[in-house]
Amino acid sequence: MPQPPRPELTLPVPFLKEPARLPWPFDWPLPTKLLQRGTSISRVLRRNVAGLTPQQVRQALDQFARLNPGPAAGTFIPVEVAGVPVFEGRFEGVDERGILLLIHGGGFAFGSARSHRALGMHLAQLTGRRLWIPEYRLAPEHPFPAGLEDVRNVYEEALMFNGDVVVVGDSAGGNLAAGTVQHALATGWAKPSSLLLLSPWLDLAPESESNRQDRHDLSVFDSEDMITYMGHYLGEADPLDPAASPLRGPWSGFPPTYLEASVDEYLWPDTAQARDLLKRAGVEHSLRTEEKALHGWQLFPDFIPEARRSLEAMADFIHRVDAGESVA
């Protein structure tokens, strides 16, 4: 029996003559038990069989990222911003509104502009912005606060280049993004027009709520991994320092903030606590959740349906903030 054609999602982009058409060839609703078994096996293979170092994980992810390049249009080239290597994405014929500053995740020890290229390029195209993805220094070679300093420097340059800056961070990148906003507010810098935090890792303390609950059924990492990578990043630094754990710092004065996480993932408690802090601080914010989604699903908008839903929601949030509409 012939299969019906898959629907093609069309997203309106006010900066382009034609709507952006995103070709999504796959739609993978994997059974929960299969996901649980797969994540468990991956942890055993990575830690107990292969014993992969952070450097080896970096190399593997960068090779895998070649299969996920994002939209064919546009340029994606290395540049230098404030002394930091940055990959810049641009689209011809777009009247750029400002900078989309995407801070990649990866446990502070891996991940790169290449691994986050697809998400960043799609979101930049849909919102009419120039994409910057900093290649901030990674642990354990460059422990805290090296990566945070790099992100702060790029953010400050983005403000001088074009005052309209949207900051997006996922996982460990969400930590650096939130920490940069707190630093900006403390030092009198302008804050971003909006902030998007995707499954952010905001509390690095071993006794954090995420570590206490240790919800690893649908996660490729568990508390052992989290504490190990926290050690790679912090070294001898105090995990209770708000610069290392933004959940323990101030959240008042934040820009309109988008939060997104899977209710079943390891870092859901960090997201829930951030929501509570924003609510108490009176900050306009929006929380979007997914069920049974693996951490980092947003990176694959060309392949999985939950990622395409996230891309739509993020673009809509940014457009609403740009238009001065409420996002609460």
* pLDDT, tens digit, 9 for 90 and up, residues 294-308: 899 999 999 999 999
Catalytic amino acids? 171, 265, 295
**Which superfamily, per CATH, for 53-322?**
Alpha/Beta hydrolase fold, catalytic domain (3.40.50.1820)
Question: Is there a contact between 196 and 314 (Cβ–Cβ < 8 Å)?
Answer: yes
Question: Is there a contact between 255 and 261 (Cβ–Cβ < 8 Å)?
Answer: no
Q: What is the pLDDT of residue 38?
A: 56
Cα–Cα distance between 320 and 81 in angstroms, integer? 29
> 285 forms bridges with which residues in the sheet?
257
Cα–Cα distance between 11 and 119 in angstroms, integer? 15
Q: Decide the pairing of beta strands 75-81 and 84-90.
A: antiparallel
Q: What is the pLDDT of residue 36?
A: 53
Residues of the chain with pLDDT > 90, as a percent, come to 72
Question: Is there a contact between 87 and 133 (Cβ–Cβ < 8 Å)?
Answer: yes
Identify the band that residue 17 occupies on the pLDDT scale cut at 50, 70 and 90: very low
Joined tokens for residue 144: 């805290």
Residues 6+ apart with CB under 8 A from 129: 96, 97, 98, 99, 100, 166
> 289 forms bridges with which residues in the sheet?
261
Residues of the chain with pLDDT > 70, as a percent, come to 84
* pLDDT, tens digit, 9 for 90 and up, residues 35-83: 555 555 455 455 554 567 889 889 988 898 999 999 989 999 999 999 9
* pLDDT, tens digit, 9 for 90 and up, residues 180-238: 999 999 999 999 999 999 999 999 999 999 999 998 777 778 898 899 999 999 999 99
Q: What is the pLDDT of residue 31?
A: 55
DSSP characters over 169-199:
EETHHHHHHHHHHHHHHHHTPPPPSEEEEES
The rounded mean pLDDT for the chain is: 87
pLDDT top residue among 212 and 94: 212
Q: What is the pLDDT of residue 222?
A: 86
Q: What is the pLDDT of residue 328?
A: 84
Residue 326, Cβ density class (10 Å: 0-12 exposed, 13-18 middle, ≥19 buried): exposed
Residues 6+ apart with CB under 8 A from 269: 208, 209, 210, 212, 213, 215
Residues 6+ apart with CB under 8 A from 72: none
pLDDT value at 252 more than 70 = yes
Q: State the pTM of this model.
A: 0.87
Peptide bond before 140: cis, by omega within 30 degrees of 0? yes
CA atoms within 13 A on the CB side of 129: 29
pLDDT top residue among 312 and 57: 312
pLDDT value at 23 more than 50 = no
